[in-house]
Every structure is written in C-alpha cells, then in structure tokens.
Amino acid sequence: MLEFLGNLNICWRKTASKELEKGSLICGIAVTNNYSSKHFFLKEYLMGFITFYHKFVNMKFPQFNSDVLMYTTSSNLVVLPALQAGEKAITCGIELSCFIEELRAVKDLHLSTANELQVDQSVIQGLLSELEQLLTGISLMKELTCRTKDYIMSFGERLSTRIFSAYLNNCGVKARQYDASEVGIITTDEFTNAEILEATYPAVAKRLHEDWQKDPAIPIVTGFLGKGQKTGAITTLGRGGSDLTATAIGRALGLREIQVWKDVDGVLTCDPNIHPFAMPVPCLTFDEAAELAYFGAQVLHPQSMRPAREANIPVRVKNSYNRDAPGTVITRSRDMSKVLLTSIVLKQNITLLDIVSTRMLGQYGFLAKVFSTFEDLGISVDVVATSEVSISLTLDPIKLWSRELIDQELDRMVEELEKIAVVKLLQKRSIISLIGNVQCSSLILEQVFSVLQNSGVNVQMISQGASKVNISLVVNDDEAVQCVRALHSAFFEQSKQ
C-alpha cells in the first residue's frame, strides 16, 4: 500500500520516530504557499511565508517484503526565487551574479535549515556552489533556455532531499539520497513539461531492489524531476509532477494501493470554500477524477494518476488533519447504478467563443479549419458544442496546462477565425461541471434547469463529455457561485434529508 501523507501541518520532528521505520522510501518534500517557522524549513522567505507540508507514503514493497514509507516533494519554495535569480543573471553582469538577492535568500534558507537540524553544511555546499556557478554562466551567455530553467528548478528538490537524508542518518535512521536521474526516472526531452517513459518502471524497480539487497536504507528520491532520454539532462515533469513521480514509483514496485494525503476528507461534492456543507465522496472512477481535476478540483492532477490507472492500482485520498476519515477511493470502475451526481466543479474566468458560418451546412472540413487555427496558435480548448452552422467552445485565458493565454493571442485567434466565420468572444464566464452518471442525464438536467430557473440564471452553453461522466454548463462569472450553492443544496443536501 502506497500512502502519501500530504499537507501534514505538524512539525516533522514529532512524527519522525513514529512514522519512519526500516524499509521506508522517501521522495522529497511538499510545499504550499504559507510558511511557518515551526515546520521543516524554518526561515521566513523573501516571497512571503511558505510552509513545508509533508507527504509520507506507507506501502508494501514486494521485493523487500517490508513496509515502505514515501515522502514526495514539490519545492516551490526554491523554484520561484531560483528562476528569478536566473532571469536577473541575464542582465546583471558576471561581477554581480554572485550577489543576486534571490541567490542569497536560497543559500541562507538552506544553510540555516541545516544548522537548525544539526546537519553538516558540507552536505549542501557543493550544490549551492553549483547554483552560483550556473548563474555566472547565465550572466556570461546572457540567455536562459528551457533546459537551463529545468536545471535551476531542480535545486530545491536536490537540496532538500540531501538535508532530509542527512537528518535521518543523524537521528539513527539509515537513509540514502537519490536524484531522480540516479533512481531511473527517464523522460522525454521536452524541458519544463517532460513525460515519463516506459523505461522508467523497470529501471526504478531494478535500482531500488538491488541497492536494498546490498545495503538496506531508506531511499530518499527527488520528486518532480527526471532525466532526458536523449540528452541525459535534468528535466521537470510540469504540473502535478511531484505526485506523478510517486505514482510512477508505486507502479514500478507493483503496489496494491496508493494513498494521497491532503488537507480535506478526500474528494468533496464541491469546493468547501464555495459551500460549507461540501461532503466527501466515498468512491470515484479514474474518469471521474480526471474530469474533476481538469475542470478545477485541486486534489489530484490527471497526469499524476496515469501510472496508477495504467497499472490498475487504486488511489485513496485521505486527510492528514483527520486520519480517521475514510477518504475517497479512486478505481478503474465502480457500480454506478445508484449514482446520480458525484461532484460539482466550478472553473471561473474562462472565455466563451461562438463561431457561426453558413459554410458549415452540409460541408466537410470546416471543423478541421477551425481547430487547425487553435493548433497553429497553440491554444487548448476546454468544452465544445456544435450545431449545423455554429460552434461554441470555451478557453481558459488565465491558466492553460502549460502557459498563460494573453489578450494579444486572443485577438490574433479572432482575426484568423474571422476569415472563415463570424466570431463572438465572450469573457468573464464560468464552467459548472456536473460529474456523475450521465446515463441519467435527463434526470440530472431536469433538476438542474429547475434550480437555475428558480435562481433566474440562463445557461449560455451546455456540453456532455465523451467520457460519459461529465455535463458542463456555461454561465456568467457573477452568477456561478450562486449556481453551485443552489445545485449542491438540491442534489446533495435535500436528497440527504
């Protein structure tokens, strides 16, 4: 059983002796955007306050015949300032590259953390010198490529795992640190958004098994990172890369279950910030979880679930603040006979695009022309609905998978589409996604439109996903929260009564 104990808002020192045992596997450190001196990294950071939360993983390790504890990471604490240091190095000049404020902050943070944990600074001095030399090289070349960005972003993981490994050894818990490239995480060479390759799974299993047989020690592995198959350079796995690293290792080891620990009681019926009576969902399919994640739920990124899905390994989401809560189990399939609606997800600030042309009537190739325009401009589409002479679709101008979509790109997109159709761009819209049993779509929609009619809300677009688990509605941004609250009350609270 693989278990990520994420967002655990307690001091590591209090849990180490209870949680860590011989036969554990550790994969780094997870970070959120709040910081407190009571947690693992104990310094105020220049970008605000950041708290390190912990993702422990307790699992059966077949080759080792023991319980294994994993610790995964997403070191945003270092990524942002390190990248800022890289950007400053382009213009600051070689003489000043060693005095960049963000570089000093990264050094101070890790050196003071090592001191506070009574870890010898020599454990990280080499990497800190390497980072300084890299910034000097950037200032000399006056460029910051995607490959170099990945190299810079790797320092947070590599520094934190070395500190943590040394700390465990000082506590009498034998540990061994691995960079992802050493443990066998092999990826494509698509820097900043690499994909894990199939060669990873046998490589990881072989390396960890052989090292364990020779000298048993807790492996501490960097998350979020990989090694490019052709270049051999450090790559990063993009959004959700930390959990992806851990699920990939879980698949490599052939585990029975993966547990991801968050700060909520599993996947909920809606965002608890929108509705205080959001309830945990006991079961989900991978299809449902993917739709939830894509349309705004923050529990798991679809990419991070891929290894578990391919290996048919159940994923259980639990709450590190409420360990007794059963959480949510995500599996390949489940009994949907008694399921109407599973969850309601809200995605705000999207753009609705209406494309109308009589050329569509009875013609082929029109849709190809429309979507080739999106392909040429590198723009991703969320939801699509079509009729004989029109297409309606949504775009997310704020948060695409890999980058931001700026106004100039929207203007260019409209300009290109107007060559073949009449285009209407409607901004400040929201997608409300109803995740559940779409086989009961008539019953769901009957109740939905009754609720929205009573609320005085007009639906501007409706679409049913090909996954057969999602119905999406588009409404105005200023009406969206009200809609979600009313729908949640109708589907979950009234039915409970």
Concatenate the DSSP letters of all residues of 103-163 into one string.
HHHHHHHHHHHHHHTT--THHHHHHHHHHHHHHHHHHHHT---HHHHHHHHHHHHHHHHHH
Cβ distance 218 to 25 under 8 Å?
Answer: yes
Q: Render pLDDT for 302-336 as a digit per residue (tens, 0 to 9).
A: 788 899 999 999 888 888 788 888 899 999 988 88
For tokens 């034998």, the residue is 174
Instruction: Give the amino acid at 433.
Output: S
pLDDT surpassing 90 at residue 488: yes
- What pairs with residue 176 in β-bridges? 219
482: DSSP letter: H
CA 349/CA 430 separation, integer angstroms: 6
Where helices occur in 215-353 by DSSP H, the ranges are 241-252, 286-294, 302-310
Cβ distance 330 to 258 under 8 Å?
Answer: no
User: What is the helix (H) or strand (E) element at residue 226, kind and residue range?
Assistant: strand 225-228
Q: With 0-12 CB in 10 A as exposed, 13-18 as middle and 19+ as buried, what is 65?
A: exposed
pLDDT surpassing 70 at residue 196: yes
Domain 2-263: give its CATH code. 3.40.1160.10
Strands of 422-436's sheet in order across: 384-386, 390-395, 341-356, 422-436, 470-476, 461-464
Q: Render pLDDT for 118-151 as a digit per residue (tens, 0 to 9).
A: 999 999 999 999 998 998 888 888 888 999 999 9
Q: Which of 43-52, 222-231, 380-389 has the lowest mean pLDDT?
A: 43-52
Q: Render pLDDT for 277-293 as a digit per residue (tens, 0 to 9).
A: 899 999 999 988 888 87
Q: Where are the domains of the chain?
A: 2-263, 341-496
pLDDT surpassing 50 at residue 19: no
pLDDT surpassing 60 at residue 49: no
pLDDT surpassing 80 at residue 17: no
CA 356/CA 390 separation, integer angstroms: 4
Cβ distance 40 to 14 under 8 Å?
Answer: no
- Helix 122-141 crosses helix 101-116 at what angle (to 10 degrees)? 170
Tokens standing for residue 360? 């569509």
Tokens standing for residue 321? 């603040």
- Report which of residues 57 and 127 the model is more confident about: 127
Helix, strand or coil, per DSSP, at residue 48: strand
Residues constituting the chain? 497
For tokens 């009961």, the residue is 440
CA 483/CA 432 separation, integer angstroms: 8
CA 486/CA 377 separation, integer angstroms: 38
Tell me the CA distances in angstroms from 212 to 23, 182, 209, one per residue in order.
Answer: 9, 14, 5
Instruction: Give the amino acid at 60.
Output: K
Architecture of domain 341-496: 2-Layer Sandwich (3.30)
Which pLDDT belongs to residue 293?
78
Region 442-464: mean pLDDT is 91
Where helices occur in 301-348 by DSSP H, the ranges are 302-310
Tell me the CA distances in angstroms from 254 to 197, 217, 487, one per residue in order.
Answer: 17, 20, 40
Q: Render pLDDT for 226-279 as a digit per residue (tens, 0 to 9).
A: 999 999 999 999 877 877 888 898 899 888 888 777 778 888 999 988 998 899
State how far Cα 65 lies from the chain centre. Answer: 31
Tokens standing for residue 30? 């997870």
Tokens standing for residue 380? 């991703």
- Helix 366-377 crosses helix 407-417 at what angle (to 10 degrees)? 150
80: DSSP letter: H
Tokens standing for residue 21? 């045992």
Average per-residue pLDDT for the chain:
78
For the four alpha carbons of 488, 301, 298 and 278, in that order, the dihedral sign comes to: positive
Helix, strand or coil, per DSSP, at residue 20: coil
Percent helix / strand / coil, the chain, rounded to 5:
40, 25, 35
Report the predicted TM-score, pTM, of the whole model to 2 decimal places.
0.75
Tokens standing for residue 278? 């959001």
**What's the N-to-C CA distance of the chain in angstroms?**
36
CA 489/CA 482 separation, integer angstroms: 11
Which pLDDT belongs to residue 467?
65
